[in-house]
Amino acid sequence: LGPVRSQAWGLAVGYIAFVYCTIPLLPEVWAALVGYTDGSIRYLGIALVALAGCGFAVSVWRRGRWWPLVALAGIAPVYGYLLHVYSRFPAERLHLVEYGLMGYVLLRALRLDLGRAWAYLASFVLAVLIGIGDECIQWALPQRFFEVKDIQLNAQSVALGLLLARVVGGAGDGDDRA
């Protein structure tokens, strides 16, 4: 497999395992965090998306390319809309980061063996299937629910994460295989 492939797939599998292992724990952790922070933890998703967006904009701006900045300006309202829609369920906002990152780590692993378009498509499909698995695990757990809207949010989050990866140019462009 080699060190590059092993590292990329180790990160992807480790991240997926982390997501799956935290499914039964997240409600209790979230409740504890809400208690400790007097409810201000509900802004964590917004803060993470805003920080990532600023980091992406700075990264693109440093390279002196204008089209990615325009694309980021188009992507930001989509994130804003999703953050607003899920304001009633703040824990769901974390899916924007969680599954966006999952799409990216899968893309980094898949691009080593697939062409750019196939790597993006395969990482989207795999991450959505992993999201469906996430919901199936929740279905089997007591006091957790299988919801199609969560699968849709996971798919949207993966798509936005992959779109950001393409716009920012940090993955899948073929020049950064190290």
Amino acid identity, residue 41? I
Residue 171's pLDDT is 40
Stated pTM of the model:
0.74
pLDDT digits (tens, 9 = 90+) for 58-69: 777 777 777 777
Positions in the chain whose pLDDT score sits under 50: 170-178
Residue 126's pLDDT is 92
3-state secondary structure labels for all residues of the chain:
CHHHHHHHHHHHHHHHHHHHHHCCCHHHHHHHHHHHCCCHHHHHHHHHHHHHHHHHHHHHHHHCCCHHHHHHHHHHHHHHHHHHHHHHCHHHHHHHHHHHHHHHHHHHHHCCCCCHHHHHHHHHHHHHHHHHHHHHHHHHCCCCCCCHHHHHHHHHHHHHHHHHHHHHCCCCCCCCCC
Residue 175's pLDDT is 41
Residue 41's pLDDT is 64
Residue 125's pLDDT is 92
Residue 6's pLDDT is 87
